[in-house]
Structure formats: structure tokens, C-alpha cells
């Protein structure tokens, strides 16, 4: 069993839809949770950074962490074609070694 | 802020040659730099962690004599793939962490695509 599980997709949604991306994990010691966006042939770009459980909102993006269920989510409101990318969840026990999910490929069509 | 650059962005080399990839933190001091490898449609796999002025810590299964890492300053780390072979072809990405913007998290470079013929 992988430490971090993420559905690879692809997920295809119409412009304006609400997108829900999720990861599950097995290591209860994870405390730091991140979401990265990666465009094709580019490095990952940090979107959201959360410590421990709870919600965090930044513009159209909302990150949720449920440590009791070992489940994290990223919601994208009013999705745009420019949001089309691969979204990677990552988590760690400290701020050093990150464990990544495989990434979910999202396509937002006009 | 928190910009990390990599050079070159793309390199093609013959089997048996060595390739050096540079990773720079442009606007902050990176106490720690990380090197990842990403195969197509797969996740990022951590290869090694390096702290400025000390030897890198390699992940299990990564040959330290093949992937030489030097972290000579707080803004520069290099990865040298020695005697590269076609199976080393991959997307190599570095990240840097330090107190950039008050957040001790990792910021990634744009990646280097290595193709070994």
C-alpha cells in the first residue's frame, strides 16, 4: 500500500464547475499537507499549505484536512481552462521529506 | 518571492557522459535543497536531501556515486549524473526550503529534462 493515494484521473469538467480533488494517506504522523499544481513539463507550483487539521481558503481554492479520516481535499470554485494541469498532493511529518501522490490530471473545457 | 531556477532546462547527451544540473534559489537563502526525479505520469520521487556545507543524504535505492550532489552555498546546489545511461532519462526537479516569506516549505524549480541516447 502506498503511503499516499491519489486518483490519477483524468478529470474533465466544464468551465465554471466546482472541482474536488482528494488524497488519502496511511501515516498518522503526517502533519503538513500541501497541494501543488504542475503544468506539463514544468516544476510543481505550491498552491496551498496547511498544518494539521482544518480548512484553508485562498481565492478560488479551499484546502481541507481531516486527520481522523486521513483524507485531504482541494476544492476549486469557478474553474477556468487555465486551471487545467496536474494537481499533486504532498504531505510530511516535518517540513523536510515530502511524500507525493501520483497527481490528478484536471482538464477544464470551455 | 521564493523563486528557484534550474539550468539547463533540457539536456540530451550520449550514454557514458556526465551531466551537471544547477539549482539556484534566487531570492532567499535555502538551508536545505532537495532533488527529485519524475518519470512520465508518475509522482515525484525524492532522490536526496542536501544541507549547505554538508554531505547529501540519499534515499534508499539511489546510488550516491552515480548522482553526485554538491551544496556549496545557501543559494546553489548541483546534481551531477555520472556515466549516464538511457535508463537515467527522466525529469529532474530540485526544490529549496528556507524561511522564504516566513514559511519553511519547499519551492520547486522548473525542472530539467534529461535524455540519454
> Would you state the pLDDT for residue B1?
62
Distance between CA atoms of residues A81 and A108, nearest Å: 5
Asked if B108's CB is within 8 angstroms of A36's CB, the reply is yes
Closest CA to A91 of A35, A39, A8, A38: A35
**Which among A47-51, B13-17, B41-45, B106-110 has the top mean pLDDT?**
B13-17
For residue A34, the model assigns a pLDDT of 93
Interface of B with A in 96-115 (CB under 8 A): 97, 103-111, 113
pLDDT tops 90 at residue B27:
no
Chain B residues in contact with A100 by the CB 8 A cut-off are 43-45
Mean pLDDT of chain B: 90
The answer to whether the beta carbons of residues A61 and A74 sit under 8 Å apart is yes
CA atoms of A57 and B46, how far apart (whole Å): 28
pLDDT score recorded for residue B12: 96
Contacts for B76 with CB less than 8 Å, ≥ 6 apart: B22, B23, B24
How far, in Å, CA of A91 to CA of B45, rounded? 13
519524475: which residue's cell?
B38
pLDDT confidence of residue B104: 61
pLDDT at B103: 52
Q: Which tens digit of pLDDT belongs to each residue from A94-109?
A: 767 889 999 999 999 9
pLDDT at B60 over 50: yes
pLDDT of residue B98: 74
* pLDDT class of B53 with cuts at 50, 70, 90: confident
Amino acid at each position: 500500500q502506498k503511503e499516499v493515494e491519489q486518483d490519477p484521473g483524468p478529470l474533465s469538467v466544464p468551465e465554471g464547475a466546482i472541482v474536488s480533488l482528494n488524497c488519502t494517506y496511511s501515516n498518522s504522523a503526517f502533519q503538513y499537507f500541501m497541494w501543488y499544481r504542475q503544468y506539463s513539463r514544468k516544476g510543481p507550483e505550491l498552491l496551498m499549505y496547511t498544518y494539521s487539521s482544518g480548512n484553508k481558503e485562498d481565492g478560488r481554492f479551499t484546502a481541507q484536512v481531516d486527520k481522523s479520516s486521513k483524507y485531504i481535499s482541494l476544492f476549486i470554485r469557478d474553474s477556468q481552462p487555465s486551471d487545467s494541469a496536474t494537481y499533486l498532493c504532498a504531505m510530511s511529518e516535518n517540513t523536510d521529506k515530502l511524500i507525493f501522490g501520483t497527481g490528478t490530471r484536471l482538464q477544464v473545457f470551455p | 518571492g521564493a523563486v528557484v531556477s534550474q539550468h539547463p532546462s533540457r539536456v540530451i547527451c550520449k550514454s557514458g557522459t556526465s551531466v551537471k544540473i544547477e539549482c539556484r534559489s534566487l531570492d532567499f537563502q535555502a538551508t536545505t535543497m532537495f532533488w527529485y526525479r519524475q518519470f512520465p505520469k508518475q509522482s515525484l520521487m525524492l532522490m536526496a536531501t542536501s544541507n549547505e556545507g554538508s554531505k547529501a543524504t540519499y534515499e534508499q535505492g539511489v546510488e550516491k556515486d552515480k548522482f553526485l550532489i554538491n551544496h556549496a552555498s545557501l543559494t546553489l546546489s548541483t546534481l551531477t549524473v555520472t556515466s549516464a545511461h538511457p535508463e537515467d532519462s527522466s525529469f529532474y526537479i530540485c526544490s529549496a526550503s528556507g524561511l522564504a516569506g516566513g514559511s519553511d516549505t519547499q519551492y520547486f524549480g522548473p525542472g530539467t529534462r534529461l535524455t540519454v541516447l
